[in-house]
A and B are shown apart, each in its own frame.
Chain A
């Protein structure tokens, strides 16, 4: 019974994690094997034990869903193939979660920053980064976000997250980042 309850709570929390940004997440007591029963969902990592003894402030338990590392909303990056601006399937859940957040809070303003690797024309890369940011914006809009909530900009190859002239750095830098403009970011 207790295990079943734990499983149900876990399932509910995982659903909340994936789709409901406004609810806090508690997952400290979850056993690993309950996560294994839900093979399509990534396992929930145990919370920091120190969190349990922290006094509760005005913020929700687990903190801001946008920055809580256990919340999918804390994930902000979509990665792209070389010279491509197609959003790959593996990044669609992240984009969907942010679409929901934007839909539920119409005051939220997002800026999407497109980036490219260092190869080729700086201006063309600026446009390519823009296409990447726009591709994420289009998906967000498709899922209910308003176009007025989202500004897209491009840094092209100018602000590489990873330095170096190798495939690892290039892969990291072919990226669009979703940032909230009026949420202290």
Chain B
């Protein structure tokens, strides 16, 4: 196991070095996977016909996506002649002999106007039936996204869960005293800088439509909440009051934000309109800290962090500020709550000595599970299917992103080689 891990680390480093040498700007984050799911589905991904002529390979991306989830084991498709691209070309006993439970096959054909038709099928090797089959007509720039969508479909057909390979993430990269808010594909490819600043940027939060990001920028020498459109690049300060403005969280309908303001003294939670119009509506009172609001998926509740009981703990309240109640009781430092997409759990950071761990609490039973231990972990954020939690951690003094499966079994590290990465947030499903 240790050899394997070392090997993986070494390979990861080599990939990083190769990318740095080639100056490739499209793969700033490199992924390393630790652990595996309890039951891995053996699957063969057969290279698509005519794929080798594409500017972007597809099946390698599909295989990497599925492998990264920890729920699949790749079965080598090599050496089977002829290479199957259509269902009738499949010799099922051959694949059964290799232990594959499913096979992905497909074709690529150039179309007029520089487009490509990508057809693929997921075949059940045991039942010898088709599980799914789709055709995409895409421009070359969309080939990678198409691969992620294929991986999503395969994942959904074989696990019953929604795939999140075609989603995006956002995070902040710090290089020296220079900060960049970036948006990248969920596998770390294709990072785009959407804001660059000489002042800190924290707390990016995706709008439910996936087209806007709220964040906190210190560019006016103090924290101000902005909403920025990813389609137009236009941005607006939606909370810029006396004092600090921070911790934006979107309502599920995308029309409001819960934020932390200090304009009336103390850190309190307010609701504001996402376009910045109108007056903030205050939800908390008293002299304690109240911050890090997070909307429930049904829009009826807010989780937040407060030290009203003497130490920072997680509380829940209705969105009109009523019925606040404490939810965490273990330890003296529980912060950064985020609802799971189904609203049944929340993830948060629990401090133990000098360590900060990712924890999940069941709202109904109050049972707590620690998913990481012994690190300095921050800013947990659920994948939209609830199966992974993205977070920031520190390795050798450097900030990197990591993800852990919600059962704690699979961990991934996404390493950026030129800066500190922090404050990740996983974007919504693309509808």
Q: Do A127 and B291 contact each other (CB < 8 Å), given the known contacts A120-B333, A120-B335?
A: yes
A154 contacts partner chain B, Cβ-Cβ < 8 Å: yes
**Which A residues touch B223, using CB under 8 A?**
126, 153-154, 156
**Which A residues touch B58, using CB under 8 A?**
none
**Which B residues touch A158, using CB under 8 A?**
200, 202, 218
- Within B326-364, the residues touching A (CB, 8 Å) are 333, 335-336, 349, 351, 354, 356
**Which A residues touch B312, using CB under 8 A?**
121, 124
Q: How far is the CA of A119 from the CA of B354 in the complex (A)?
A: 8
Q: How far is the CA of A185 from the CA of B200 in the complex (A)?
A: 20
A131 contacts partner chain B, Cβ-Cβ < 8 Å: yes
Minimum CB–CB distance for B213 against chain A, Å? 16
Minimum CB–CB distance for B242 against chain A, Å? 6
**Which B residues touch A155, using CB under 8 A?**
200, 218
Could you give, for residues 51-83 of chain A, a 1 whenever the CB lies within 8 Å of some chain B CB and a 0 otherwise?
Answer: 000000000000000000000000000000001
Q: Do A131 and B267 contact each other (CB < 8 Å), given the known contacts A121-B335, A158-B218?
A: yes
User: When the two chains form their complex, are residues B218 and A127 in contact, meaning their CB atoms are under 8 A apart?
Assistant: no
User: When the two chains form their complex, are residues A122 and B265 in contact, meaning their CB atoms are under 8 A apart?
Assistant: no
**Which A residues touch B305, using CB under 8 A?**
121, 123-124
**Which A residues touch B289, using CB under 8 A?**
124, 127-128, 130-131
Q: Which residue of B lies closest to A85 (CB)?
A: B289
B49 contacts partner chain A, Cβ-Cβ < 8 Å: no
User: When the two chains form their complex, are residues A123 and B244 in contact, meaning their CB atoms are under 8 A apart?
Assistant: no
B35 contacts partner chain A, Cβ-Cβ < 8 Å: no
B260 contacts partner chain A, Cβ-Cβ < 8 Å: yes
User: When the two chains form their complex, are residues B246 and A123 in contact, meaning their CB atoms are under 8 A apart?
Assistant: yes
- Within B271-325, the residues touching A (CB, 8 Å) are 289-292, 305, 311-312
**Which B residues touch A154, using CB under 8 A?**
223, 244, 262
Number of A interface residues in the complex (CB < 8 A): 22
Give the residue of B222, B265, B292, B422 whose beta carbon is less than 8 angstroms from that of A124.
B292
Minimum CB–CB distance for A155 against chain B, Å? 7
**Which B residues touch A128, using CB under 8 A?**
289
**Which B residues touch A25, using CB under 8 A?**
none
B397 contacts partner chain A, Cβ-Cβ < 8 Å: yes
Q: How far is the CA of A46 from the CA of B222 in the complex (A)?
A: 39
- Within A131-176, the residues touching B (CB, 8 Å) are 131, 134, 151-156, 158-159, 165
Q: Do A151 and B242 contact each other (CB < 8 Å), given the known contacts A121-B378, A134-B265?
A: yes
User: When the two chains form their complex, are residues A124 and B291 in contact, meaning their CB atoms are under 8 A apart?
Assistant: yes
User: When the two chains form their complex, are residues B244 and A122 in contact, meaning their CB atoms are under 8 A apart?
Assistant: no
Q: How far is the CA of A64 from the CA of B292 in the complex (A)?
A: 42
Could you give, for residues 49-92 of chain B, a 1 whenever the CB lies within 8 Å of some chain A CB and a 0 otherwise?
Answer: 00000000000000000000000000000000000000000000
Q: How far is the CA of A120 from the CA of B379 in the complex (A)?
A: 10
Q: Do A121 and B292 contact each other (CB < 8 Å), given the known contacts A130-B262, A158-B200, A165-B397?
A: yes
Contacts between the two chains (Cβ within 8 Å), count: 91
**Which A residues touch B333, using CB under 8 A?**
83, 120
B390 contacts partner chain A, Cβ-Cβ < 8 Å: no
B29 contacts partner chain A, Cβ-Cβ < 8 Å: no
User: When the two chains form their complex, are residues B244 and A124 in contact, meaning their CB atoms are under 8 A apart?
Assistant: no
B203 contacts partner chain A, Cβ-Cβ < 8 Å: yes
**Which A residues touch B311, using CB under 8 A?**
83
Residue from the set A119, A127, A131, A154 with the largest chain B CB neighbour count within 10 Å: A127
**Which B residues touch A126, using CB under 8 A?**
202, 223, 244, 246-247, 260, 267, 291
Residue from the set A83, A120, A152 with the largest chain B CB neighbour count within 10 Å: A120
User: When the two chains form their complex, are residues A124 and B262 in contact, meaning their CB atoms are under 8 A apart?
Assistant: no
User: When the two chains form their complex, are residues A130 and B267 in contact, meaning their CB atoms are under 8 A apart?
Assistant: yes
B266 contacts partner chain A, Cβ-Cβ < 8 Å: yes
Q: How far is the CA of A153 from the CA of B240 in the complex (A)?
A: 12
Q: Which residue of A lies closest to B268 (CB)?
A: A127
Q: How far is the CA of A80 from the CA of B98 in the complex (A)?
A: 64
Q: Do A153 and B351 contact each other (CB < 8 Å), given the known contacts A123-B291, A130-B262?
A: no
User: When the two chains form their complex, are residues B203 and A127 in contact, meaning their CB atoms are under 8 A apart?
Assistant: no
Q: Do A127 and B356 contact each other (CB < 8 Å), given the known contacts A121-B335, A154-B244, A159-B200?
A: no
Q: How far is the CA of A154 from the CA of B397 in the complex (A)?
A: 25
- Within A7-56, the residues touching B (CB, 8 Å) are none
Q: Do A153 and B222 contact each other (CB < 8 Å), given the known contacts A123-B246, A134-B265?
A: yes
**Which B residues touch A159, using CB under 8 A?**
200, 218
Q: Which residue of A lies closest to B266 (CB)?
A: A134
Q: How far is the CA of A165 from the CA of B376 in the complex (A)?
A: 11
Q: Which residue of B lies closest to A155 (CB)?
A: B218
B374 contacts partner chain A, Cβ-Cβ < 8 Å: no
User: When the two chains form their complex, are residues A124 and B335 in contact, meaning their CB atoms are under 8 A apart?
Assistant: yes
Minimum CB–CB distance for B236 against chain A, Å? 21
* Interface CB pairs A-B, < 8 A, 13: A119-B356, A121-B312, A121-B336, A122-B202, A122-B379, A123-B203, A123-B246, A123-B305, A124-B335, A126-B202, A126-B223, A126-B260, A151-B242
Using a CB–CB cutoff of 8 Å, the interface residues on chain B facing chain A are 200, 202-203, 218, 221-223, 242-244, 246-247, 260, 262, 265-267, 289-292, 305, 311-312, 333, 335-336, 349, 351, 354, 356, 376, 378-379, 397, 422-423
Using a CB–CB cutoff of 8 Å, the interface residues on chain A facing chain B are 83, 119-124, 126-128, 130-131, 134, 151-156, 158-159, 165
What 4 A-B pairs are tightest by C-beta distance, nearest first?
A158-B200, A127-B267, A121-B335, A153-B222
| A-B contacts besides A122-B423, A151-B242, 7 pairs, CB < 8 Å | A83-B333, A119-B376, A120-B351, A123-B292, A130-B262, A152-B262, A153-B221
